[in-house]
Structure 1
Amino acid sequence: MAVSPSSSARQARQALASRLADLCLDAGLTGAELAERCGWSRSKTSRIKNGRTPPSADDIRAWCRACGAEEQTEDLIASLRTAEGMWVTWRRMERAGLKQAQEARLPLYQRTRRFRSYSSWLVPGVIQTRQYTTAVLRAIQRRRGLVDDVGDAVTARLERQRVLCEGDRRFAFLVEESVVRSGIGGPDVMTEQLRHLVAVASRPNVSLGVVPMRPDRERWPVEGFWIYDTAQVNVELISGYLTITQPGEVAMYADTFAELAGLAVHGAEARALIEDAIERLG
């Protein structure tokens, strides 16, 4: 389990360690006795109990067997998988290709009713055109040396865009001005994408804000993130994909989104900025 920059992941790992420690205590075993029954060193037992070393699924099976608590094995392994899923490196997430990574997020989109997205790098995926998505995913595939399933991955990402038209969902998108001024795929792809942004912004369930470039900003650009209702935040970092569920951390991202929205232009001002970018491309 990779070390995560999020306290959500740390707390999930610590909660698992505490449950394992309680099993040992309930069984009346010392750390040395449990280590002997499991056939490993005392130091390994100590590291797992204190949350310094994450256990493997096999470690959990051996631990539960030693404590006479095999009935808790599957539940504890499920907790392990949850903690592991809070921080996933791109290599691990995309090891089976980009299509699977795109499809894995669909259930989250389907159960969310209020979306808030901030991007300082690219146009958010759910409002990308096919050509723009293809350029983005092709660049990722080449940079990371992944299997070439870009065509299927593009289709999977576009499938998620159906949520824009289904149900009573609401969307608030914020992008930095640099996202519309410089992009990917060339002038034709960017022109089509920017025109699509203008069209999407006219939808009654969509708010689009552009944070202008200026020399005296009090809130500087941050990493791109999505807020799903008030339950979860996902952050795309250079090294991996972070899932945040701790209420305090979710609230911090919500506050940051509100601050950035206060700096952004919306409506006619945002449309004028985007149309100026289109004109400069042409």
Structure 2
Amino acid sequence: MPPHPSTRVQKAREALAGRLREIRKDAGISGRELAVRCGWSESKSSRIENARTPPSDADIRAWCRACAAGDQAPDLIAANRQSAEAHVEWKRLQRTGLRRLQESTGDLYQQTKSFRVYVSDVIPGFLQTPGYASALLSSIAGFRGTPDDVSEAVEARMWRNEVLRKGEHRFSFVLEESVLRYRLCSAETMAAQLGHLLGVMGLQNVAVGIVPFSEPRAVWPMPTFTIFDEGRVHADTLDAAYTLTQPSQVELYARAFEGLSQQAARGAGARALIADAVASLG
């Protein structure tokens, strides 16, 4: 099989193949012996180890079982599934406009009970007003050259955000103070957005923490990410949306969120930071 056209997917496949090769070597068995234990040809073992053939979930289980490393199978299976799904280019997601992107996560949002959201750049989508969302999505559409369906995308986002008030969902947000200060819209729109943020903080199922500029950092500011329950992370970069499902990855982000959360001001302290940001608008 030729290399995958996406270099990110190919690198993920090669990393998985490398991990399987190390497991075999740690077990002290040859590729031939592995093939015998798994009940397949030696050439299949070679193709998997050299990232020429993506293994199935069953292949990974058999490989780990043959190497007495069954405890590593769940993480490797998640990595295998991720290789084709995790690195989704924003251009492909957005080629039909931004509305479909908002709608694509609707089912996931409804199914998730606990959301942990860290943001270092913009107000979280869950907490955006129509005015703020419109300004932000207009900027994104202009930068990426996507079809202009901002009005429909904002409407879809507001509909999606009803999950905040409907159903048994819990939300924990950690924002960098810089999020309150970035001028992505007019002063009037930003003032309304910050006022909305103050109002949302009163909801019983919502916890908001803000990491002050002045807080000594134990954990550095990092790119935005969202943890869905205990099994999935969405992490965004400029060119891609990463979906992470390996248990070790989810645990890493959960640990990062906990560290960031411990640095955040809450209650009256958080409200004071928002009030200062409102006052700075003049």
TM over 0.5: yes
> 1:2–1:88: 8 Å Cα contact kept in structure 2?
no
Q: What residue number does 2:131 align with?
A: 131
Match of 2:141 in 1: 141
Name the SS of the counterpart of 2:204 in structure 1.
coil
Whether the 8 Å CA contact 1:232–1:245 is kept in 2: the answer is yes
Residue 203 of structure 1 is matched in structure 2 by: 203
Q: Describe the shift of the 1:269–1:101 C-alpha distance in structure 2 as closer, same or farther (beyond 3 A).
A: same
Q: Does 1:270 align with 2:275?
A: no
Asked if the contact 2:180–2:277 (Cα under 8 Å) also holds between the matched residues in 1, the reply is yes
Q: Deviations over 1:201-230 (max 9, x none)?
A: 010110001100027423210110000011
Identity %: 37
The 1:5/1:138 distance shift into structure 2, 3 A limit, reads: farther
Residues 96, 212 of structure 1: alpha-carbon distance in 2 compared, 3 angstrom cutoff: same
Partners of 1:8 and 1:86 within 8 A in 2:
no
- Deviation of 1:52 after TM superposition, in Å, equals 3.6
Alignment of 1:32-71 (within 5 A): 49-50=48-49, 52=51
Contact 2:218 2:259 in 1 (8 A): no
How many residue pairs are counted as aligned between the two chains? 238
2:110 corresponds to 1:105: no
Query: Aligned AA for 1:3?
Result: R
AA of the residue aligned to 1:103: E
Structure 2 residue aligned with 1:240: 240
TM-score by length of 2: 0.75
| Distance in 2 separating the partners of 1:108 and 1:167 | 13
Does 2:230 correspond to 1:230? yes
From the superposition, tell whether residues 26 and 200 of structure 1 become closer, same or farther in structure 2 (CA, over 3 Å). Answer: same
CA distance in 1: counterparts of 2:156 and 2:176, whole angstroms: 26
In the alignment, what sits opposite 1:69?
none
Q: Does 1:118 align with 2:124?
A: no
Task: For 2:279 and 2:152, locate their aligned partners in 1 and report how far apart those are by CA, in whole Å.
Answer: 33
CA contact (8 A) 1:191 1:281 kept: yes
The alpha carbon displacement at 1:80 in A equals 8.5
Q: Which residue identity lines up with residue 276 of structure 1 in the other structure?
A: D
Residues in 2 aligned to 1:128 and 1:207: alpha-carbon distance in whole angstroms: 15
Instruction: State the Cα RMSD in Å.
Output: 3.0
In structure 2, the residue matched to 1:220 is 220
Cα deviation code 1:53-88 (max 9, x no counterpart): 677xxxxxxxxxxxxxxxxxxxxxxx9986422111
The 1:218–1:159 alpha-carbon spacing in structure 2 relative to 1, beyond 3 Å, is same
* Alignment match, 1:159: 159
Q: Is the 8 A contact 1:116 1:171 kept in 2?
A: yes
Closer, same or farther in 2 for the Cα pair 1:91/1:219, shift >3 Å?
Answer: same
Q: Unaligned regions of 5+ residues in structure 1, if any?
A: 16-21, 32-44, 56-78
Q: Could you list the per-position Cα deviations for residues 182-207 of structure 1 after superposition, in whole angstroms to 9, with x for gaps in the alignment?
A: 23112111101000000000101100
The one-letter code sitting in structure 1 at the alignment partner of 2:8 is V
User: Structure 1 residue 49: deviation in Å?
Assistant: 3.5
Q: Report if aligned partners of 1:8, 1:245 keep a CA contact under 8 Å in 2.
A: no
Choose from 8, 12, 15 the match for 1:3.
8
**Do the aligned residues in 2 keep the contact of 1:134 with 1:151 (CA within 8 Å)?**
yes
Cα displacement string for residues 218-274 of structure 1 (whole angstroms, at most 9, x for unaligned residues): 321011000001110100111200011111111111111111111110011101110
Unpaired segments ≥5 residues, structure 2? 1-5, 21-34, 55-78
1:184 is aligned to 2:189 = no
| Residues 15-63 of structure 1 deviation map (CA, whole Å, 9 limit, x = unaligned) | 9xxxxxx8xx9675957xxxxxxxxxxxxx97x64454677xxxxxxxx
